[in-house]
Structure 1
Amino acid sequence: MIELTRDADVAMITLRRPERRNALDIEHCDALREAVEGATADGVRAMVVTGEGTSFCAGADLDGVYGEAFRESLYAALRATLDTPVPVIAAVNGPAIGAGTQLAIACDLRIASDTAVFGVPTARNGLAVDVWTMRRLVELAGGAAARRIMLSGELFDAGQARHYGLCDRAGDVVAAEEWATELASLAPLALAYNKLVLNSPDAGVEDDRLSAAFDACWASSDIEEARAARQEKRAPLFRGR
């Protein structure tokens, strides 16, 4: 199952299928997408995605990975993670293989425990991932690391992942929750705009979505709240409007 819980403005999404090392099938991909969309609709300000037990996500459940329906469900879940306007942190508590790495890199930020492992071993199982996955790996970890992952099937441990920029911090799910709480206190419209730009590398400055998000920031009352907070020497209370 996919468990969705909320603590104040932070949603925790947990893959709870430890008997399969949190491997994803159609049912769990659909549930993951629904959890992300549901948390977004509920007005959370940040999310954490993690796995129960000793694995983050062992990848696609190979008993059901070979059909088009699975691919559609997986990429819909990844797209929902990318498209939500709030920051999403992956708390990679163990191996994140194949679809597990795809899920981790669909998140905006990654915290990895010492037992984390990343890899996309399609060359070892004859499968393929979409163009976005490989380009995202290049964006996060650089071309050389992406080639090692995709062409040699190499697995990166937590230390290598941090070295190459594939993960941002060392830590556990508690550290991820603490970071998410910090992010939840920031200006929501600014975060949404920043995320949209960062996830739209091919969009030009005239893109309507970017322009609308940019204008929303400058028209928001959060700007006045930030100014007042500076004058009053207090933390701002952003409302996202």
Structure 2
Amino acid sequence: MEDGVGLIELDRPERRNALDIATCRALVDATEQVRTVGARAVVLTGSGTSFCSGADFGEVYTDGFRDALYAALHAVADLPMPVLAAVNGPAIGAGTQLAIAADLRMAAPTAVFGLPTARLGLAVDPWTIQRLVQVAGGGTARSLLLACAQLDAPTAHARGLADSLGERADALGLAADIATMAPLTLAYNKSATNAFGRAEDPDGAVAALTAEFERCWDSQDIQEGRTARAEKRSPQFTGQ
């Protein structure tokens, strides 16, 4: 960890970082590690020239692959700190799923997004579709799912699937900036934005989030922010 930023890097460049069961399990382990070291933000990326080329077709039809894949996706999505996917190349199929499991996406010029499940007779789960609609809107979701469109970096950015354009170093810089922000506020903002993109029980979502909201306002960090502003210095947040 450096500057409060945890780095999770897929490392199967010979397979263009395709996800097999072992890699999915390693992703789950990596999310536990960034929790343990107290990372304030996380960058998720791929080694080599691909972010993630999708599921490894040597295993995608085997027993246990789907469970391993969705365990990995939810482990990323459920991290309490912001996760930024540095999409350094193609993110196809499970690669796009992994990218949208992150909170933010920065796309390099070589990034490509696609969900060609209908060309393969496969399907992504309802959570993935809900997340895609939440992140990029119904039109983009339909384009990817019904026309099996592939979106390059500028198109993905224009449609909201990528939040920004840049290389890995830019993503690390953004994550380092995020890591200086108030952890309780970021965790609350993340919980709220995730909750309000869902149709079920919006009133229940508000009730569940109220405690987190109040905790932000009762925290030492809010006092530190006020003091730092008065003293014209950068705040040093602790998550307390």
**TM-score of the superposed pair, with normalisation by structure 1:** 0.94
> 2:239 maps to what in 1?
240
Aligned residues: 236
Q: How does 1:71-220 map to 2 (within 5 A)?
A: 71-201=66-196, 202=200, 204-207=202-205, 209-220=208-219
Aligned CA distance change for structure 1 residues 238 and 170 (closer, same or farther; 3 Å) = same
Quote the Cα distance in structure 2 between the aligned partners of 1:46 and 1:203: 29
Could you tell me which amino acid in structure 2 is paired with residue 169 of structure 1?
Answer: S
Quote the Cα distance in structure 2 between the aligned partners of 1:68 and 1:119: 25
Q: Is the 8 A contact 1:82 1:199 kept in 2?
A: no
RMSD between aligned residues: 1.3
1:13 aligns with 2:16: no
Range with greater deviation from structure 2 (33-42 or 55-64) = 33-42
**1:184 to partner: Cα distance:** 0.2
**Runs of 5+ consecutive residues of structure 1 not aligned to the other structure:** 1-5
Range with greater deviation from structure 2 (216-225 or 136-145) = 136-145
Quote the Cα distance in structure 1 between the aligned partners of 2:32 and 2:191: 16
Aligned CA distance change for structure 1 residues 148 and 206 (closer, same or farther; 3 Å) = closer
Q: Is the 8 A contact 2:3 2:179 kept in 1?
A: no
The alignment partner of 2:32 has SS state of: helix
> 2:34 maps to what in 1?
39
> 1:3 maps to what in 2?
none
The alignment partner of 2:234 has SS state of: coil
Could you tell me which amino acid in structure 2 is paired with residue 65 of structure 1?
Answer: V
The alignment partner of 2:48 has SS state of: coil
Could you tell me which amino acid in structure 1 is paired with residue 214 of structure 2?
Answer: D
The alignment partner of 2:85 has SS state of: strand
Quote the Cα distance in structure 2 between the aligned partners of 1:139 and 1:79: 16
**TM-score of the superposed pair, with normalisation by structure 2:** 0.95
**1:41 to partner: Cα distance:** 2.1
Q: Is the 8 A contact 1:205 1:211 kept in 2?
A: no
Q: Is the 8 A contact 2:133 2:141 kept in 1?
A: yes
Q: Is the 8 A contact 1:46 1:86 kept in 2?
A: yes
Could you tell me which amino acid in structure 1 is paired with residue 232 of structure 2?
Answer: K
**1:135 to partner: Cα distance:** 1.8
**1:8 to partner: Cα distance:** 2.9
Range with greater deviation from structure 2 (91-100 or 69-78) = 69-78
Could you tell me which amino acid in structure 1 is paired with residue 80 of structure 2?
Answer: P
| Fraction of identical pairs, as percent | 55
Range with greater deviation from structure 2 (105-114 or 32-41) = 32-41
> 1:51 maps to what in 2?
46
**Runs of 5+ consecutive residues of structure 2 not aligned to the other structure:** none
> 1:24 maps to what in 2?
19
**1:48 to partner: Cα distance:** 0.2
